[in-house]
Amino acid sequence: MNSYAKIFESLYFPSAISQCAAGTIKPPLATFKAPAEWYGFPPALIPIWSDGSRPTYIGAWKHWFMDREPTYIKMHVGAGRMTIEIARTVEQLFALVAMMSISERDGIESDLAIFAKVVGLQNLDQINAVSLVSGDDARGLAMIDQFKNKTPLESARAVGDYSGEFPIVNFDNVKPWWKRACSFEISQEILAAWPASFPQASLDRRFW
């Protein structure tokens, strides 16, 4: 078992996550592999899978020294290690992987059926039906059972639909996300909207 799987075990993540990180449970995806390979990443990332052709990580995102709920992200190494929240629960993560597989292979193939059975994913038919409507558009995931509550940022249709802790294009003091964020989470869209009177120095750029 690799060290990433051991970290997930020590943090009491679901056992299926540890098995995915170890490669015991195979992802139904052509390019993502486990154990994840090393392309460089900040300590907040605990990798589950990596895609060496881009490269890209899918993994858990944990701020070690503050009370922020762990979440699941995709990190694009070649884009300054930009980090996107793709799931907030393990059930959402596995449903997303299923959607990625269906979009990649144009349907449900045997390795996805095996993956779904092992991780307890029971609504493949629903995910397949949604894929016919939305393709791989992350916002279409909001039509899937797992995403109807605690919708992750990538799948939220509007800022008001999002209740998580990733940065959003909103700078009111009701939800001062900049006090608990790091630079890998700040999109170009947010930077472009940054108020001139609002000092970027207030953004903590540590990795955790």
Domain-located, residue 145: yes
Domain-located, residue 121: yes
Domain-located, residue 46: yes
**pTM of the entire predicted model:** 0.91
What tokens does 186 get? 């700040």
Q: What is the pLDDT of residues 90-138, one digit of tens each?
A: 999 999 999 999 999 989 999 999 999 999 999 999 999 999 988 778 8
Could you tell me how many residues make up the chain?
Answer: 208
Q: Which domain holds residue 100?
A: 3-164
Q: What is the pLDDT of residues 135-174, one digit of tens each?
A: 778 888 989 999 999 999 999 888 778 999 999 888 887 7
Is residue 82 very low, low, confident or very high in pLDDT (cuts 50, 70, 90)?
very high
pLDDT for residue 140: 87
Quote the Cα angle for 164-168-173, to 5°: 85
Cα 39 from Cα 78, distance rounded (Å): 10
Residue 105, CA atoms < 13 Å, CB-side half-sphere: 17
Is residue 89 very low, low, confident or very high in pLDDT (cuts 50, 70, 90)?
very high
Domain-located, residue 190: no
Cα 87 from Cα 96, distance rounded (Å): 8
Q: Is residue 1 scored above 60 in pLDDT?
A: no
What tokens does 101 get? 């597989």
pLDDT for residue 203: 55
Give the start-end residues of each E strand in 52-201: 56-61, 71-76, 82-87
Number of structural domains, the chain? 1
